Amino acid sequence: MTGPARPVTAADGADAEAPAERAALASPAARAAQAEWLATLSARDGAAANTIRAYGRDVARYLGFLAAHRGGAEGLGVLARLGPADLRAFMAAERARGISARSLARALSAVRSFHRWLSAREGLDATAALAARGPRHRRKLPRPLAVDAARAVIETVEAAPAEPWVAARDAAVITLLYGCGLRVSEALALTGPDVPLGETLRIRGKGGRERLVPVLPAARAAVDRYAALCPFPPAPGAALFRGVRGGALGPRQVARAMEAARHGLGLPETATPHALRHSFATHLLAAGGDLRAIQELLGHASLSTTQLYTGIDSTRLMAAYSAAHPRA
């Protein structure tokens, strides 16, 4: 690093309370590079829209911090002269702003991705950014439902005091989440021509990754029942699951149906729609499912993500041991 790095002070923490204002300090050249990088992530790498938004916010804060840290906008020059002290100062400011270790790890992932792209496009040295390591954080274990609780949720949603087609719709979505391990967004992305469901579904998940998911007879029957009752005819390109006014069903409506069932059954707050996907994986693993196969069914890019479910089984095993062993 050729230029002096200003040490982080208490004022940095105060400035960090207004990250939007600080992000605006970045030079037009830096912001243009960020916009082009985000477009590349979307078009070439197929990153999800939520990932694009989160990475955009993270890197905008990073660029604004560097501009303030180095005393003003300097185009891409500040990135060319980046050193380890700059990365440490950014991380310190982010922690002073109160973000969690997990959020900081995501921000550093975005920063590394941006610098990797800049290195390939502009030839800028990305060593300092790629070598930066954030604080360690423990990944939370998923909170699946028990088998009988998952079944009870489906039955409760199906018997909800709503219009028959609405209850059938909610039950069909919930059944797909638990029976096929779909994300809520993946279930809601189904369109009219997907009905009747076949023995498998081709799902496009995070990062544009495609996978084939087996469809259980119970899931096919639930979707068929909904399709027969739905007052809105299926149409090419139109969402399969509709709201009461005919528009595409949103995830909030699915969450409300799950919330009502959860309260009725006395289940914990962790019993969310996404917990049904966790339940699908955990119950498959408990039944002897192969971890690699479960990874494919869930559409995880990394086996380490799927391996979280082995931690759940280990935790339950130890709890059962402690409760049952005579010397525990």
Which of the residues are catalytic? 183, 206, 274, 277, 300, 309
DSSP string, 86-97: HHHHHHHHHHHT
- Burial tier of 303 (Cβ tally within 10 Å: 0-12, 13-18, 19+): exposed
Sequence-distant (≥ 6) Cβ neighbours of residue 112 within 8 angstroms: 126, 129, 130, 132
Residue of 160, 100, 162 lying closest to 134 (CA atoms): 100
Give residue 82's Cα distance to chain centre. 30
Sequence-distant (≥ 6) Cβ neighbours of residue 239 within 8 angstroms: 188, 189, 190, 191, 192, 247, 248, 249
Q: Which residues of 144-176 are buried (b: 16+ CB within 10 A; e: fewer)?
A: bbeeebbebbbebbbebeeeebbbbbbbbbbbb
Q: Are 164 and 244 in contact (CB under 8 A)?
A: no
How many Å apart are CA 237 and CA 240, to the nearest integer?
9
How many helices (H) and strands (E) would you count in the chain?
A: 17, 2
Residue of 160, 182, 163, 183 lying closest to 171 (CA atoms): 160
